[in-house]
Amino acid sequence: MPISVLLSERKYSFLCLASILLISFAFLLLTYTSYPFFFAFPLPSDVHVSVSSPPPPSRSSSLQFPTEPELETQPADHLDLNVSLNIRWRACRLGSVTVDYIPCLDNSKAIKQLKSKKHLEHRERHCPKPPPRCLVPLPKSYKVPVQWPQSRDMVSLSLLDTTTFYFCNVPHPKLVEYKKEQNWVRKSDDYFVFPGGGTQFKNGVTAYIDFITETVPAIKWGEHIRVVLDVGCGVASFGGYLLDRDVVTMSFAPKDEHEAQIQFALERGIPATLSVIGSKKLTFPDDAYDLIHCARCRVHWEEDGGKPLLELNRILRPGGFFVWSATPVYRNDERDRYVWKSMVALTQSICWKVVAKRDNFDSTEIGLVVYQKPSSYSCYAHDRTKRPPLCDRKTKKEVSWYKPLRHCTSRLPVDSNGNLLGWPSPWPHRLRNKPQSLPAEPDAEAIFNEDTKHWAALVSDVYFDALAINWASIRNVMDMNAGYGGFAAALNELPLWVMNVVPIDAQDTLSIIFERGLIGIYHDWCESLSTYPRTYDLLHSSFLFKNRKERCNIIDVAVEMDRILRPGGYLLLQDTMETIQKLNPVLRSLQWSTSLYEGQFLVGKKGFWRPKN
């Protein structure tokens, strides 16, 4: 019989004597089981949830932090959300990079000490120790971004003086001048407008995408091809227009002198990240992308024994395509002929097949070649002496985080029985079908299905209906502890995109996320993220802070969340009461507003406050 009925009917006299115990037990129920859902990854040991399914496999610690600040744990209904830590915050002061400060990419001291920049080491991550605790100021005349879908084609600008206009939220006035002949961007009234041009598609990105489709009909956008990587993406118009075809594109480029192109992409609401193919692996799993695109992306694929192209081979799904649109495909000057000859030798050595080549640039103003990665070992078995060796099997299991590029050919993915994995189900079925890369445990499929149901119910019943979040204002979302990507899958019908983060010390589920047709990266939350300030509209965290060991400081993580979240953006956190009582005072000291739902869902909203030194 339910406890509420027992209390109302008073059938048992011993209830009076046990009232204190029952009240305490009721608090626990309200705090942790008021929403009876299934967790794909186990909760901390001090939280108990009744489930009908078998317990899921264990997951290693996602993040730890020291015991400071010391706060006394209290029941949820006694939590004072107005408690704030007395922290004297200061604004970052770093000269010209201050408003765009990225700690791990703007570490000038570490960059000056590099012995070599041959492999773009100066564009890679060099994180300061300890992490800086300054707050990034807002650009002058900062404005709330244009909402999606209008933001894909325009962003706000301001008058700097009588002759110069600049982008309000990204103070870089020269991009229009740099790219005016390539039809990337132009000024129209109070906006920068992105007409969809590019270095290799001056007639527009829509015509360029259609040209690729006509060239290789097997590329069925939004069905066979769902997850794309755009290397050296410019302002990401290629990825932005592929969204119309149900394709999600991870656009990336290094932080360089070309006036913050990735920052423009993110402000437009297009998925993008800062990265470079230098000396280390990209932070993606093996066999992730259905198609990789490079339109004059300024990567020398043949250099260093072909390591850059071998890295693309690692992250390209077997049977996937590489679309290379560059001058060596259609020009005949000495340098271009040399590059093309090197590319032919390199692609043949890793068994890539040319499925199409269009080099009549004069008639179409488009020149490209399309390669396809093999889906079996039949080619590799022939004349092995002329091929890079197969990578060690151990590298297939390692997380690509600060790992060096290797001169070897990535092994094809196999299941637990050694059988080669096939192509995922057509989109959108792959979002909910059983991923082939699931672990071989007997209950793995049941856990995956329950996880999908759990997030669909939680998002619908709590996140949408019960929390004070204006979902209409949200475009750029990050899931800080993504698991199987269930949160992103539950949001799939909304006009937003999700960057799924798998912490490096958590169970590696990133391959599953990509197989579902979603995108993501590896990251260590003890370090700063490789993205610009004011990138995301919403940060989601589900039990990221679940262990209390001394590795990361919760204050440093809060500073990083403050850096990458836009003013007016939200933090949506589900965690233990102990974590909430530690984090909430830090957020309040940052002048965030916070609210608590059912003792386990904390919603924080960042304001426009910045400290004045």
Range of the domain at 20: 1-32
Kindly state whether residue 463 falls inside one of the protein's structural domains: yes
Bridge partner list, 272? 251
Residues 369 and 458 both lie in one domain: no
Q: Quote the CA–CA distance of 94 and 98 in Å, as a whole number.
A: 5
Q: What is the pLDDT of residue 212?
A: 96
Across 309-404, the runs of DSSP E, i.e. the strands, are 316-325, 353-358, 368-372
What does the pLDDT look like over 547-568, one tens digit per residue? 545 688 999 999 999 999 999 9
Kindly state whether residue 331 falls inside one of the protein's structural domains: yes
- Average pLDDT estimate for 247-257: 91
Residues 208 and 354 both lie in one domain: yes
Q: Which residues contact 397 (CB under 8 A, 6 or more apart)?
A: none
Q: What is the pLDDT of residue 84?
A: 86
- Where is average pLDDT lowest: 19-33, 384-398, 506-520, 521-535? 19-33
Residue 72 pLDDT grade (very low, low, confident, very high; cuts 50, 70, 90): very low
Bridge partner list, 134? 90
Kindly state whether residue 536 falls inside one of the protein's structural domains: yes
Residues 502 and 613 both lie in one domain: yes
How many domains does the chain divide into?
3
Containing 14, the helix (H) or strand (E) segment is helix 14-17
Backbone angles phi, psi at 199, to 5 degrees: -55, -40
Residues 11 and 116 both lie in one domain: no
Domain final residue, candidates 378, 412, 427: 378
Q: Quote the CA–CA distance of 312 and 301 in Å, as a whole number.
A: 9
Residues 491 and 584 both lie in one domain: yes
Q: What count of Cα atoms within 13 Å lies in the side-chain half-sphere of residue 453? A: 10
Kindly state whether residue 178 falls inside one of the protein's structural domains: no
Strand order in the sheet with 368-372: 272-274, 248-253, 227-231, 289-295, 316-325, 368-372, 353-358
Kindly state whether residue 409 falls inside one of the protein's structural domains: no
- Contact between 501 and 521 (Cβ < 8 Å): yes
% pLDDT > 90, the chain:
68
Residues 345 and 221 both lie in one domain: yes
| Alpha helices (H) in 525-567, listed in sequence order | 554-564
- Average pLDDT estimate for 457-474: 97
Q: Quote the CA–CA distance of 592 and 607 in Å, as a whole number.
A: 6
Print burial letters for 422-432: b (CB count within 10 Å at least 16), e (below 16): eebbebbebbb
Q: Quote the CA–CA distance of 295 and 351 in Å, as a whole number.
A: 22
Whether residue 55 is predicted with pLDDT greater than 60 in this model: the reply is: no
Residues 208 and 339 both lie in one domain: yes
Residues 476 and 560 both lie in one domain: yes
The tokens of 102 are what?
Answer: 């990225």
Nearest partner of 270 among 294, 316, 297, 238, judged by Cα: 238
Listed ranges 202-206, 258-262, 362-366; the one with the highest mean pLDDT: 202-206
Q: Quote the CA–CA distance of 19 and 8 in Å, as a whole number.
A: 13
Q: Quote the CA–CA distance of 38 and 452 in Å, as a whole number.
A: 10
Whether residue 176 is predicted with pLDDT greater than 90 in this model: the reply is: no
Peptide bond into 130 cis (omega under 30): yes
Find the helix packing angle between 577-589 and 554-564, rounded to 10°: 60
CA 578: distance to chain centroid?
Answer: 28
Domain final residue, candidates 378, 393, 418: 378
Kindly state whether residue 250 falls inside one of the protein's structural domains: yes
Residues 16 and 83 both lie in one domain: no
H helices, E strands: number in the chain: 17, 20
Nearest partner of 253 among 227, 271, 240, judged by Cα: 271
Q: Quote the CA–CA distance of 103 and 528 in Å, as a whole number.
A: 6
The tokens of 330 are what?
Answer: 């259609």
Residues 477 and 521 both lie in one domain: yes
Residue 361 pLDDT grade (very low, low, confident, very high; cuts 50, 70, 90): confident
Residues 214 and 302 both lie in one domain: yes
Q: Which residue has the higher pLDDT, 2 or 479?
A: 479
Residues 12 and 70 both lie in one domain: no
Q: What is the pLDDT of residue 221?
A: 99
Q: Is 362 exposed, middle or buried (0-12, 13-18, 19+ CB in 10 A)?
A: exposed
Kindly state whether residue 477 falls inside one of the protein's structural domains: yes
Kindly state whether residue 188 falls inside one of the protein's structural domains: no
pTM: 0.87
DSSP class of residue 552 equals B
The tokens of 445 are what?
Answer: 């499929």
Task: From residue 4, give the alpha-carbon distance in Å to each of 8, 10, 28, 447.
Answer: 6, 10, 15, 32
Whether residue 1 is predicted with pLDDT greater than 90 in this model: the reply is: no
CATH value at residue 297: 3.40.50.150
Nearest partner of 126 among 137, 134, 115, judged by Cα: 115
What does the pLDDT look like over 108-165, one tens digit per residue? 999 999 999 999 999 999 999 999 999 999 998 888 899 999 999 888 875 333 334 4
Q: What is the dihedral of CA 482, 487, 488, 494, to 10 degrees?
A: -160
Q: Quote the CA–CA distance of 558 and 571 in Å, as a whole number.
A: 10
Q: Which residues contact 27 (CB under 8 A, 6 or more apart)?
A: 75, 76, 77
As a whole number, the mean pLDDT across the chain is 85
